Structure 1
């Protein structure tokens, strides 16, 4: 009688396969998400860089640069998710190999999570370094602080791994709260105290914390907790992507978005009449598509930038820039159902579709122009200047959506 063969497990191959499978799964959605948000992110970075520079040059004496830097770094240091790609079926098939999996596969998962999160921490430190460098007093150098931050991150990540193995929920909650408090305290000591004192106190605190998690560490894996943590992390990523494109795993059809009826009537001026058929359609298309989110983001971002500008030229340029950007964004709405065969079946005039699209876009754009005018009232020297820009914006909106040669629908 042959002895049963010993089960083997290749941690590197399994980890690589599951990582690759997940990347292939989300790759199409990531492309669409980047296309949707790239313009907004670019404008946000430009606006943030402008105001960041003004803050550095115009900050009053004693401005709490160190405390703000610690606050910005806190989530990057304390939030320590660990991707394991564990599935529910693994609790059955991998259980006999628990020791080997904990030693090799899970160690690889923790190290991979540290590599990704260390990059995020580095990006955050690069972002706050100019402000931190403006702070008065003795402070650690860039490399010195970065090395301490990376050690802090690695210890806190190990603490979170210990939390995932605990079976008692109250212990997990207390240890998670301690992790956030310890991250905040270490960042405060590192960035506000003198370099020797801050580094020594952080090292002592981390040694005590490391000893605590070593005492609380459970040798066995809490499989159900690992599956639940992976499910939450995976769901978070898919829901984030679902804000830009419909993710098939969450639902197989477009999600229903119920738009307020008063808003629809105000934008389209709807009546129960055949001539308003396409108005009803285009308002719903705009409210249920990514165009609504993009228009809202551009309007909010433009309003914020205008709020922090002064004079005549700068607010006017920003106002006209975002007026044009929202018009270009709304241009895509007119292309919806342009080649739909149903538009030729309905007993409606052929030109009604384009006319209705013009009406809806003109009203939406007029609302965005009016909203962008509000911060102009205090950004400009006199209110009449804001009203003149409002009239100019409404005039441009009318030209873009009405005159055939200049209309955004001419192509």
Structure 2
């Protein structure tokens, strides 16, 4: 006898066990220390910045954009698997309770990220609108929760739509409406506009309900595709810290960047892995994006933090994070057997990875040094180059070397 509630319990338990195992590896001692330092320093400078908040700072628009986008991102996690298109299809008419539980699970998990954004922006709101009472924040929280439920329902109904462009247009429309509702409410003197945006969103909600309630059945292939994409995104994050056998690796061409990086590499046997690590870094969907994101975040803190020593510390922290997460290049091709056929000693491969990590960390040091020149002075730029170069050499020649020698943990 098929029991949808029992199926959901099994799927949820397996999902939490799988993600929990990788979360423990992600939040290891190194990252936990870096995050603790980052949060403490960010809170301190955030408070200092709020004390000198510019009079014309667009608080309403900043909060509207951040919270509106968090509300708009509303994907229902179904925890479906590829084989379900065969084995669960005959029981589709009994899956109602399963999908209802999936909806509320998605709501509460996404409410956590929304609550973090809300908590982070609340001090900004209280500083800019100190003349208002705390009840405005309560009203804002209620509005965000209602918008979140609406967006999850709209996103769920839209999964019956096969046209990708239409789904993108829906997402953009909902994002604009959510941002405007939050922004106009925060401004306080635009209640009329809030009411107008709410009426439009409600009308759009009812229109989609009338359209998609007539479409019977569940788009199993689309639900499974979305679920697999979500899990692969999580696996890509976890792969930065440990080997993930479930990860499906995708390569992107990026011919110009590949040519730029491999052109200086000599055509010699001992440079085989140097060539491989460089094209993997560029063509993989993980490493280059992570490297650029950390660079942009580091640049933000260099210009935002007023104290020069904290600028240096934060910049070094992001150089460390880049090097630490790129160590997983060692395992990127682990499942490809022909790498073991290369007549190249293991020590040459280790040395190639160390050289590549040294290269990318020094490049980031060089770029952040120039940003330090704009944010401070040429003395700080020279100082950062010296500190960044010294830190890179110590990190690669001690920590990375010891990690590569412990083959069991790599």
Q: For structure 1, which segment, 363-372 or 104-113, has the greater mean C-alpha deviation from structure 2 after superposition?
A: 363-372
- Are positions 1:113 and 2:106 aligned together? yes
- Are positions 1:20 and 2:13 aligned together? yes
Distance across 1 between alignment mates of 2:217 and 2:300: 47
1:137-170 alpha-carbon deviations (Å, 9 max, x no partner): 6575222221222122223322333333468889
Pairing 1:269-280 to 2, within 5 Å after superposition: 270-271=265-266, 277=270, 280=272
Distance across 2 between alignment mates of 1:327 and 1:53: 30
Which of 120, 123, 140 aligns to 1:145? It is: 140
Distance across 1 between alignment mates of 2:195 and 2:156: 25
Once the two structures are TM-superposed, the CA of residue 363 in structure 1 deviates from its matched residue by 4.8
SS in 1 for 2:159: helix
Aligned to 1:390: 385
Q: Are the aligned partners of 1:138 and 1:195 in contact in 2 as well (CA < 8 Å)? A: no
Cα distance change on mapping 1:356 and 1:187 into 2, 3 Å = closer
Once the two structures are TM-superposed, the CA of residue 93 in structure 1 deviates from its matched residue by 1.3
Distance across 2 between alignment mates of 1:15 and 1:135: 45
Cα distance change on mapping 1:71 and 1:309 into 2, 3 Å = closer
Distance across 2 between alignment mates of 1:117 and 1:407: 37
Aligned to 1:159: 154
Which of 268, 273, 283 aligns to 1:281? It is: 273
Aligned to 2:301: 305
**The structure with more radius of gyration:** 1
Distance across 2 between alignment mates of 1:347 and 1:237: 35
Q: Are the aligned partners of 2:298 and 2:315 in contact in 1 as well (CA < 8 Å)? A: yes
SS in 2 for 1:81: coil
Distance across 2 between alignment mates of 1:26 and 1:371: 35
Distance across 2 between alignment mates of 1:282 and 1:130: 48
In structure 1, the gaps of 5 or more residues are 1-7, 337-341
- Are positions 1:192 and 2:190 aligned together? no
Which of 258, 276, 287 aligns to 1:260? It is: 258
TM-score, L = length of structure 1: 0.69
Q: Are the aligned partners of 2:161 and 2:167 in contact in 1 as well (CA < 8 Å)? A: yes
Once the two structures are TM-superposed, the CA of residue 237 in structure 1 deviates from its matched residue by 2.6
Distance across 2 between alignment mates of 1:355 and 1:249: 28
Cα distance change on mapping 1:10 and 1:327 into 2, 3 Å = closer
Q: Are the aligned partners of 1:286 and 1:333 in contact in 2 as well (CA < 8 Å)? A: no
RMSD of the alignment, in Å? 4.8
Distance across 1 between alignment mates of 2:372 and 2:154: 50
Distance across 2 between alignment mates of 1:44 and 1:107: 38
Distance across 2 between alignment mates of 1:352 and 1:171: 52
Distance across 1 between alignment mates of 2:208 and 2:251: 46
Q: Are the aligned partners of 2:235 and 2:247 in contact in 1 as well (CA < 8 Å)? A: no
Pairing 1:196-345 to 2, within 5 Å after superposition: 208-209=203-204, 211-218=206-213, 221-223=216-218, 225-242=219-236, 244-245=238-239, 247-249=244-246, 251=248, 260=258, 262-264=260-262, 266=264, 270-271=265-266, 277=270, 280-281=272-273, 284-285=276-277, 288=280, 300-309=296-305, 313-318=309-314
Q: Are the aligned partners of 1:282 and 1:333 in contact in 2 as well (CA < 8 Å)? A: no
Aligned to 1:369: 365
TM-score, L = length of structure 2: 0.69
Pairing 1:354-365 to 2, within 5 Å after superposition: 363-365=359-361
Cα distance change on mapping 1:238 and 1:28 into 2, 3 Å = farther
- Are positions 1:92 and 2:85 aligned together? no
